[in-house]
Amino acid sequence: MRVAVTGLGPVSSIGIGPAEFAAGLRAGRSGISEITSFDASGFPRRRAGEVRGFDPHRSLRRLKPEHWGRSSQFAAAAARLAAQDAGLDLDRLPGGPERAHAVIGTTSGESVAVEAFTAARVADGDGFAGIDPDLVAQLPAGRLAHGVSEELGLAGESVTLATACSASNYALGYGFDLLVSGEADVVFAGGADSVCRWAHAGFFRLGALAAQDCAPFDRDRDGILTAEGGAVLVLETFEHARARGARIYAELLGHGLNCDAKHPVAPEWTSIARCIRIAHQNAGVGPADVDYVCAHGTGTPANDAVEAKALVEVFGAALPPVSSIKSLIGHTMGAASGFGAIASVLAIDQGFLPPTVNWSNPDPELAGVDPVPNVARPATVRVAQNNGFAFGGNNSIVIFGAVR
Amino acid sequence: MTALRVRGLGVLLPSVTAPDDPSFPDRPVHAVDGFDVRERLGRRGTSFFDRTTALAVAACADALRDAGVDAGAQQPQDRIGVVLATTLGSFRSTSDFTRETLVQERPYLVNPMLFPNTVMNCAAGQSAIRLGLRGVNATVAGGPVAFLHALRYAADVLARGYADLMVVGAAEELSPHRVWSQVLTRGGGGAACGESAAAFVVGRDDDGSTGGTGTRILAAAAGYGPDGRRAEALSGCVRRALDRAGVAATEVDLVVTAETGPDDHGQFEAATRALGHRPRHRQVTAAFGDCDAATPAVGLAQLILNRRARPEKPGTTALLVAEGLDGAAAAALVRSPQCR
C-alpha cells in the first residue's frame, strides 16, 4: 500500500494556503514581527512569528471559534485548507467518514487558554472559583484533533500526539501507518501551536532565544524565535487518490522514530543518526537517494551542530543541501515539522529548494553543510527528508518522494 | 489491530482523602497515599520532577520489573518504547510556570529547570531516560480516551515492527488546578477528582512469548462523532472492536466505563446498544475517582489485579469504553486467561 500526499494546508506567518506559502518560501519572505498577542514589553527580546492574517471566522465553516482555543482553530483551519486543496468531497467519501482520521501534533496544546486560565486565577488573588467554565473547557490538548474532526465531519480516530517539537512528523508517521495497515483511507495529519508568553519566557531563560533574527547554520546564530501556526497535509492511499482522480503532489515513503533517552532538552547526535537510518530503511531509500534535507534547524548553536554532525555521520561527503525554514517563520513548535513537510512536498512538486535566510557566515564546525543560503534554488528533488527533533529526545523523521 | 499480550503492570492506585491545602475546594479527593518521589526513585535526577512525571516513571519502572525486563539507564534498549496518555500534561506545572511570568518583577524570571515540565511529553521522556528506553517514545493527549488511543498507538508500533515491547500507560496528578477544573465544568456534581498512574508492558500476542499476566488486549477502536453524535461513535467503536477481534457480542461479560458520575450510565448504554445485551457494569470512577486520562488505565489494571487475586475464577471478556471531549470515543476488548 502506497501513501499519497494530495492536499496541503499551511496557516503560516508567510502565507495562508499552499500558493501563498510556496511563494513565501521561494521569495525567502520573513514572517517575523514584533509580538502583539501578549504584552512583551517586559522582555528584552520581543520578536516572534505570529500569524497576523489569521481570521478564524473566515477560515472555518463549521467550527464556532468562540468555543475553541487558538491552536485548535489553527489545526481546523489548516485541515479545511488542505481538504479544499485536495478537492476532497467530504460528504461522499467512498469508504465512509469512519475511515477518515485526524492526527494532530502539538507542543503546548491550548497554551493561550492555559495562560488566560492562569491570568484569571492571579487576578482573583490566586483563587480558582471565579474562572469561566467555558475557558476551562478549552484547555485539554486533545481538542486540537477534535477541532479538525468537527470542522470536516470526520468520524475516524481523532488523536492528538503531544510529542513536542517533532509532533507533526509523529502525526504524519502514524497517519502513514494507519493507511498502509488498512485502517484508514484518508488521514489529515499535521500540527498546531500558538505563540504564548510562557514559552517565550522559558526559551529566553534557557538562553535559546535569538536577539533579532533566526539564522540557522550561520556561524553567529544565536537561537530560535517562538512562532505559531497550523500545518496539515491530506494523506490517502494511492488507490483512494487515483480512484477519485486526485492530483498527487508526492508520495510519503516512510518514517523513523526513536528516543535519545539521555537528556530532557539537549539533543544527542548518535541517536539522531540512528533515527535517520531507521527512517531511510522504513522508506526504502539510501543516503544517496536523498536530494534535500528539510532540517529541524532551530538556529541555536548546539542544536544545529548536533543535527549537522548526525547528518554528516550518515551521509558523509554526499550530504545533500540542508535548509531550515525556521529562518523564515520561526519555531512553530508542534507545527514545525508539519511546515517542514509541506515545504518538502512543494520542493518535490515545484522543483526548488527553500532557502535558509539570515545567513551570512559559514560555520567551520558545520563543514559539509550547504544551507541553501538566502535565495531559493531550482532543483530536481526526487526524495526529501524532513527532520523533527524535540524535548524529551523525541526524534521523528519523515521521507517524501516524487511520484514514480 | 494486532492483539497485544500484557507482560507486566505497574499501578499506583488512589484512596479517598481530604486535601490538606486551602487552595483545593472543600470536597474529598482520591490521592495516591504516601507516594514520595525521592523515597521511590532516589534524589539523583528527580529534584525537578513534577508529580505527574514521578508517578509515570514509577509506574513504568514497576511494569518493566513485573514483566521481568531488566531496564535501566546503564543498559539502554533500542527496541523498547513508551507511549503515555495525558489530558494536558502536568496542568499544575504549566499554569504555575505561567503564573511566574505574571507575578515576577520581570516576566522572564522563571526557573528554566522547570520549563521542560510544561511540555506534555515530559513524563514519557523522563521515563525513557530513567529506564534506558530508546525505542519509539510518544505522548497522546486526549483525556479519558487517550489511554485507549495509546493502546492503539502501541499496537501499531509493534505490528509495524518498530519495537519489540511497548510500555503503555497514563498518569494524572492531584492538584487544585485539576480539581477546580472538574468542579467548574461539572458544576460540582459527579465523581471526586482522582490521581493515579498505571503502566503496562505489552508485546504482540503472536510473538511466541508466554507468561506475563496472561491478559490480552484483543482489539481497540477509536472514533469521533461530529455534531454531538458521540454515543453513536462509541457504539461504532464497540462494533469495530468486536469485529476485529472476531469476538461475538454475547461473549462480553463485563463493561468497564469511565463515566464521570455515578448517575451517568451513558457509556454503558451506548455500549450495550452495540452489544445487544446488558453484561455487568463497572464504573472505574466509583472506586478511584475521576482520574481523567488515567481512568481507563486504572480500569485495565483493576481487571488484571482482580484476576491475580482470584486465579481460580473463570476468566472474563471485558469491554473497556471511554468517551472524551466533544465527539471522541474509544473501546477495547480485554480477555483474561482461562477464558472460555
Q: What is the per-residue pLDDT across A128-182, written as a single tens digit (0 to 9) for each?
A: 999 999 999 999 999 999 999 999 999 999 999 999 999 999 999 999 999 999 9
Please name the helix (run of DSSP H) or strand (run of DSSP E) that holds residue B64, with its range, or none: helix B51-66
What value does the mean pLDDT take over residues A353-365?
A: 98
Q: What are phi and psi of B130, to 5 degrees?
A: -65, -40
Residue A261 distance to chain B (closest CA, Å): 4
Q: Is B82 on the interface with A (CB under 8 A)?
A: yes
The residue type of A210 is A
Locate B277 and state its grid cell: 445485551
Query: What pLDDT score does B209 carry?
Result: 83
Inform me whether the C-beta atom of residue B84 falls under 8 Å from chain A C-beta atoms: no
d(CA A290, CA A353): 13
In a 3-state reduction of DSSP, which class is residue B226? helix
Question: Is A403 part of the contact surface with chain B (CB cutoff 8 Å)?
Answer: no
Q: Looking at the structure, do residues B231 and B200 belong to the same domain, yes or no?
A: no
Residue B210 located in a structural domain:
no
Q: What is the helix (H) or strand (E) element at residue B27, kind and residue range?
A: none
Domain covering A255-401 assigned CATH 1.10.10.10 in the classification: no
Bridge pairing between strands A352-353 and B29-31: unpaired
In a domain, residue B291? The reply is: yes
Residue A240 scores a pLDDT above 90: yes
Based on the fold, state whether residues B151 and B251 are members of the same structural domain.
Answer: no
ipTM of the complex: 0.98
Classify residue B209: in a domain, yes or no. no
Residue A294 appears among annotated catalytic residues: no
Where among B204, B235, B262 does a domain terminate?
B204
Residue B289 maps to a domain: yes
Flag whether pLDDT at A82 surpasses 70.
Answer: yes
Distance CA A312, CA B4 (A): 39
Q: Which residues of A touch B19 (CB under 8 A)?
A: none
In a domain, B211, yes or no: no
- We find that the CATH architecture of domain A3-243 is 3-Layer(aba) Sandwich (3.40)
Residue A152 C-alpha, separation from nearest chain B C-alpha, in angstroms = 9
Tell me what pLDDT residue B55 has: 98
SS3 assignment, position B104: coil
Q: Please check the confidence at residue A91 and state whether its pLDDT lies above 90.
A: yes
Residue type at B255 in one-letter notation: V
Q: Percent of chain A scored above 70 by pLDDT?
A: 100
Q: Do the first three CATH levels of A3-243 and A255-401 match, i.e. the same topology?
A: yes
Question: Is B340 inside a domain boundary?
Answer: no
pLDDT of residue B340: 42
Residue A246 pLDDT class (50, 70, 90 cuts)? very high
Contact predicate A14/A51, CB 8 Å: no
- C-alpha A143/C-alpha A104 separation (Å) is 10
Cell 477519485 -> residue: A244
Q: Which pLDDT score is estimated for B1?
A: 74
Contacts of A118 in chain B (CB under 8 A): 95, 98-99, 102
> Of B314, B251, B319, B310, whose CA–CA distance to B284 is shortest?
B319
Are B105 and B233 in the same domain?
no
Regarding whether B179 and B34 lie in a shared domain, the answer is: yes
Q: Is the pLDDT of residue A357 over 80?
A: yes
* Residue B233 forms part of a structural domain: yes
Per the structure, how many domains does chain B have?
Answer: 2
Alpha helices for A143-268 (secondary structure H) = 143-152, 167-180, 197-205, 238-243
Residue B266 lies in a domain: yes
Give the separation between CA A65 and CA B261, rounded to whole angstroms.
29
The single residue listed with the C-alpha cell 480516530 is: A157
A126, A183, A391 member nearest B121 (Cβ)? A391
Whether the CB-CB separation of A331 and A252 falls below 8 Å is answered with: no
Whether B125 sits inside 8 A of A392 (CB atoms) is: yes
Query: Grid coordinates representing A135?
Result: 475557558
d(CA B290, CA B261) in angstroms, rounded, equals 8
Chain A touched by B46 (CB under 8 Å): no
CB B337 within 8 A of CB B307: yes
Query: Is A162 in CB contact (< 8 Å) with chain B?
Result: yes
The answer, yes or no, to whether residue A317 has pLDDT greater than 50, is: yes
Mean pLDDT of A343-347: 99
Q: How many CB atoms lie within 10 A of CB A268?
A: 19
pLDDT of B339? 52
Contact at CB, B125 and A202, closer than 8 angstroms: no
List chain A domain ranges. 3-243, 255-401
- Other Cβ atoms less than 10 A from the Cβ of B203: the count is 22
- Phi, psi at residue B226, to the nearest 5°? -65, 160
CA dist., res. A285 & res. A279, Å (int): 9
d(CA A389, CA A260): 10
- Residue A296 designated active-site: yes
Q: Do B125 and A206 count as a contact with CB atoms less than 8 A apart?
A: no
Q: Within this chain, do residues B120 and B152 fall inside the same structural domain, yes or no?
A: yes
DSSP H or E run through A123: helix A111-123
10-residue mean pLDDT series, chain B (340 residues): 94 96 95 94 93 98 96 92 98 98 96 96 98 98 98 98 98 98 89 97 91 93 98 98 97 97 95 98 97 98 95 92 97 83
Q: Which helix (H) or strand (E) holds A85?
A: helix A70-86
Q: Examine the fold and report which residue of B179, B204, B229 is the final residue of a domain before the chain moves on.
A: B204
Distance separating alpha carbons of residues A247 and A254, to the nearest angstrom: 20
Q: Are residues B222 and B195 in the same domain?
A: no
> Do residues B188 and B225 share a domain?
no
Q: Is B124 found in the same domain as B153?
A: yes
Q: Decide the pairing of beta strands B328-335 and B317-323.
A: antiparallel
Best of A163, A177, A178, A265 to substitute, by most chain B Cβ atoms within 10 angstroms, is A163
The CATH number for B200's domain is 3.40.47.10
Secondary structure tally for chain A: helices H, strands E: 13, 15
Domain that holds residue B237: 216-335
Verify whether residue A165 is a known catalytic residue. Answer: yes
Please give the model's pTM, rounded to 2 decimal places: 0.98
List Cβ<8 Å contacts ≥24 apart for A372-377: A372/A321, A372/A322, A372/A323, A374/A28, A375/A28, A376/A25, A376/A26, A376/A27, A376/A28, A376/A352, A377/A321, A377/A352, A377/A353
Looking at B172, B204, B236, which one is the last position of a domain? B204
